[in-house]
């Protein structure tokens, strides 16, 4: 009887070791590393407001310097300015920032202009930069918003 019990145990052990269910003994498994989440940008990855301000000014001057306001050309100028600023800002290599550009071009006729903005965001990571271009007939205001994507 003792021999029969030993045979049964050996068969059961062989079935467990050779099974395809992955129930082999855990001998050499190492624990998984905890997941890494980037909640804040690194030291060199923050939004570069000074560089973006220079990009805004140069883009507006390149497009609008020496021009007179024309209502049929203003939408094209706005698209060119906004797309150029967005592309050049993204080339700065600030990882995980969503870049939003808003450009307004209006004719200067002596009337006042009021603009307002209200944003809800994280003040430690998100930021905005704005600049103004004026000549005799054009008033252009551009704002670049940088929102960190968690």
The pLDDT of residue 43 is 77
The pLDDT of residue 26 is 57
Q: What's the total number of domains in the chain? A: 1
The helix (H) or strand (E) run that includes residue 55 is helix 49-64
Please check whether residue 100 is in contact with residue 144, taking contact to mean a CB–CB distance below 8 angstroms.
yes
Using CA atoms, how far residue 104 sits from 19, 71, 146, in Å, is 69, 13, 18
And the tokens for 138? Answer: 């054009």
Across all residues in the chain, what is the average pLDDT?
A: 85
How many CB atoms are located within 10 Å of the residue 48 CB?
A: 19
Question: d(Cα 136, Cα 109) in Å, to the nearest integer?
Answer: 9
- Within a domain: 127: yes
Q: What is the pTM of this model?
A: 0.73
Give residue-wise pLDDT tens across range 54-95.
999 999 999 999 999 999 999 999 999 999 999 999 999 888
Q: Read off the CATH number of the domain in which 60 is found.
A: 3.30.1140.40
Question: d(Cα 53, Cα 130) in Å, to the nearest integer?
Answer: 7
Instruction: Give the domain extent around 124.
Output: 47-112+120-148
Give residue-wise pLDDT tens across range 116-134.
889 899 999 999 999 999 9
- pLDDT grade for 29, boundaries at 50, 70 and 90: confident
Strand order in the sheet with 127-134: 97-107, 138-148, 127-134
- pLDDT of 141 higher than 90: yes
């Amino acid at each position: 009887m003792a021999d029969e019990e030993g045979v049964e145990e050996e068969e059961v052990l062989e079935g467990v070791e050779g099974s395809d269910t992955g129930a082999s003994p855990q001998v050499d498994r190492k624990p998984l590393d905890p997941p890494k989440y980037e909640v804040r940008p690194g030291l060199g990855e923050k939004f570069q407001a000074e560089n973006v301000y220079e990009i805004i000014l140069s883009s507006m001057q390149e497009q609008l310097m020496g021009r007179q306001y024309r209502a049929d050309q203003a939408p094209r100028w706005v698209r060119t300015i906004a797309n150029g600023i967005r592309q050049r800002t993204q080339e700065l290599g600030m990882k995980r920032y969503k870049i939003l550009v808003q450009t307004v071009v209006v004719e200067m006729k002596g009337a006042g202009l009021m603009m307002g903005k209200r944003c809800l965001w994280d003040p430690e990571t998100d930021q905005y930069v704005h600049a103004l271009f004026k000549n005799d007939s054009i008033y252009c205001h551009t704002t670049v918003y940088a929102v960190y994507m968690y």
